Chain A
Amino acid sequence: MSLAVAAGLGPRLDRERFQWSSLLMLSPALALLGVLFVFPVLYAGYLGFTNLALVGSRSRDYEFTGLDNITRMLGDYVFIKSSWLTIIFVVGSAIVGQTVLGMALAILLRNALVSVRVVIGSIVIVAWVLPEITVALVWYAFSQAGGTLSILLRQTDTNFLVTVPMLIVSLANLWRNVAFSMLVFSAGLRNLPTEVLEAAEVEGASAWRRYRLVVLPLLKPTIVTNLLLVTILNLSEFTLIYAMTQGGPGIETMTLPLYVYQEAFVFHQLGYGTAISLVLVLIGAVFSLLFVRASRSQV
């Protein structure tokens, strides 16, 4: 028996056998995931097509309403605006901002003095490690009228969270998350084959040409992975935006996760809120498919 366990590590004896002890070890995780992950996902798939409410008669006697929530969404200007804001946020702050700045930081840090690299690298990473609520607070302070940003821009009466709210929350989010892309790209750069770079240098290619024609194509798998991860992580961003603006002023920063929360727990429309969250999942799936496709196409 114990030999079979050992042989189970190699493929030959292993193929036929399934160890019951592995099920035993998997079962606590499977039980927890089953009850509080898989079931809620399936339940959400059902609730999204009902008129369940948080309070009132519909909180008990809710019913399946078919495509009503979908029709309602199509005529809901808040939902349409919210979807656009989500796409602007993800494309601006994550896909473009985080990726470009992360790559720039990784390349710059690689070529910087050791002391500069250690200090600046650590500061960027601390911004990432800070709890989101702390980031929300320091950026709230930073962008208030009379805050540091208004003094730097010599407009001390301007509350930038009122005048350009989407820009500020996107910057705050970029500020917090760029370390992730920076670390991914730093690792990618470290793993590049040195022979190719050596050859390019011997041939006399300038630094710019080496990065554009050699490094970037070689980094393509890393870039695609980074894009996939930052898109999925940022699509569901809630805490930072909510703590800074609650979606306001008006609905100027009401991205989909905030709209889901508002419909479900402020307006008590649990069914409709769930339906919106399903759209959010759908957007994530579409983005993921696009990136996985891109990663399969040839360099």
Chain B
Amino acid sequence: MSAVQARRVAAENLIVVPYRRVSVAALATNTLLILLGCFFLLPMLWMVFASVDSNPDWAIKLPTLTLANFADVLSRADALTSFRSSLILAGTTTVLTTVLALLAAYPLSRMHIPFKRSFMLAILFASGLPVSMLIIPVYQMYVSFGWLDSLYATALFLSASSLPFAIWLMKNFIDAVPVELEQAAAIDGASTFRILRELVLPLTVPGIAVTGIYTFINAWGAFIIPFVLTYSPDNQPGPVEIYNFMGSHGLFKFGDLAVFSLLFSLPVIVLYLFMSRYFSGAFNFGGAVK
């Protein structure tokens, strides 16, 4: 490697080369990171250890291994029901939000629409509005529609509240798909919907996946919306169920609670790992507010 090349590599990695020389700095960096890592790991570790411990308490300790907690939770009807409710709620929200966002994002990305810029700004502004503001008028509306305590009606509002950000995300993905292919297809006489179905859709799969998974992760963890809009035990999704467990001091077993929240967290962790392949470019926000 020539000197110029070496310096270039060094500059690209900012300060890797000086650190290799000054090993004290490298040692300090890595030690500090490992300490910070412990701060992030310790609270989570409690959940993992307590879930397989036959006699857990609030502190982290090496477990006396057992699978009884898992057997316990998996045989509880209320736990399984809340998983079902969460699936219905998050599934419906994800399908609805993703389809509507895709349909809306395509013309916003490709067509001439009056006031498009203002519309996109309004969308961005809307995604920042607090749900705790929207929930009161929506509660009033749901009372008068007779929609309270329905999982699908709840999913409808969850979709509405996820839609602004989903449209914004999806539009950015479609913007990145080259337009020349569509122009060629249009010249060959393909209709707008055919172009959308056979050309844009396959090319936008990563964008659809990211938007869908992002929406699902949010809906899966949504708390205040189902907390206010549903009340019967059969319709309580996982987060509300865990909250109720936490509130009933002494009436639950630590192990069960740990197992339940562990099982409830697994789907979103798996989905995130799947999504992160596509997600690397999504954090290039530099100057986005200009």
**A in complex with B:** yes
Q: Which residues of A contact B (CB under 8 A)?
A: 2-3, 5-6, 8-9, 14-15, 17-19, 21-23, 25-26, 28-30, 32-33, 35-37, 39-41, 43-44, 47, 52, 105, 108-113, 116-117, 119-120, 123-127, 129-142, 144-148, 150-151, 175, 183-184, 186-189, 191, 194-195, 197-198, 201-202, 207, 210, 215, 219, 221-222, 224-226, 228-229, 232-233, 235-236, 238-239, 242-243, 257, 260-261, 264-265, 270, 273-274, 277-278, 280-281, 284, 288, 291-292, 295-296
* Contacting pair B43 A238 (CB below 8 A): no
CB distance from A8 to the nearest CB of B (A): 6
The count of chain B contact residues (Cβ–Cβ below 8 Å) is 109
Q: B102 — nearest CB in chain A belongs to which residue?
A: A25
Does more than half of chain B's interface fall in helix, strand or loop, or is it mixed? helix
Residues of B within 8 A of A9 (CB): 110, 179, 182-183
* Contacting pair B29 A133 (CB below 8 A): no
* Contacting pair A131 B14 (CB below 8 A): no
**Contact (A146, B29) CB under 8 Å given A40-B137, A131-B239, A137-B47:** no
* Contacting pair B112 A108 (CB below 8 A): no
Q: A188 — nearest CB in chain B belongs to which residue?
A: B286
* Contacting pair B246 A264 (CB below 8 A): no
* Contacting pair B223 A274 (CB below 8 A): no
* Contacting pair B224 A29 (CB below 8 A): no
Query: Which of B34-42, B69-77, B203-211 participates in binding chain A?
Result: B34-42
Known: A22-B113, A221-B290. 8 other contacts (CB 8 A): A15-B112, A129-B269, A133-B223, A141-B43, A141-B46, A187-B286, A243-B223, A280-B130
Does more than half of chain A's interface fall in helix, strand or loop, or is it mixed? helix
* Contacting pair B11 A108 (CB below 8 A): no
Does B7 touch A at the CB level, under 8 Å?
A: yes
Does B250 touch A at the CB level, under 8 Å?
A: no
* Contacting pair B33 A129 (CB below 8 A): no
* Contacting pair A265 B228 (CB below 8 A): yes
Task: Tell me the bound Cα distance from A105 to B239 in angstroms.
Answer: 30
Does B176 touch A at the CB level, under 8 Å?
A: no
Residues of A within 8 A of B139 (CB): 264-265, 270
* Contacting pair A147 B59 (CB below 8 A): yes
CB distance from B200 to the nearest CB of A (A): 11
Residues of B within 8 A of A40 (CB): 134, 137-138, 141
Task: Tell me the bound Cα distance from A29 to B132 in angstroms.
Answer: 22
Task: Tell me the bound Cα distance from A113 to B31 in angstroms.
Answer: 11
Q: Which residues of B contact A (CB under 8 A)?
A: 7-8, 10-16, 18-19, 25-26, 29-30, 32-34, 36-37, 39-44, 46-47, 50, 57-60, 96, 99-101, 103-104, 106-108, 110-114, 126, 128-141, 156-157, 159-161, 163-164, 167, 179, 182-183, 186-187, 189-193, 195, 217, 220-221, 223-224, 228, 238-239, 242-243, 246, 254, 257, 261, 264-265, 268-269, 272, 276, 283-290
Residues of B within 8 A of A224 (CB): 289
CB distance from A274 to the nearest CB of B (A): 5
Residues of B within 8 A of A175 (CB): 39-40, 43
Residues of B within 8 A of A44 (CB): 133-134, 136-137
* Contacting pair A146 B261 (CB below 8 A): no
CB distance from A131 to the nearest CB of B (A): 4
* Contacting pair B60 A148 (CB below 8 A): yes
Residues of A within 8 A of B156 (CB): 32, 36
Q: B280 — nearest CB in chain A belongs to which residue?
A: A187
Residues of B within 8 A of A148 (CB): 42-43, 46, 58-60
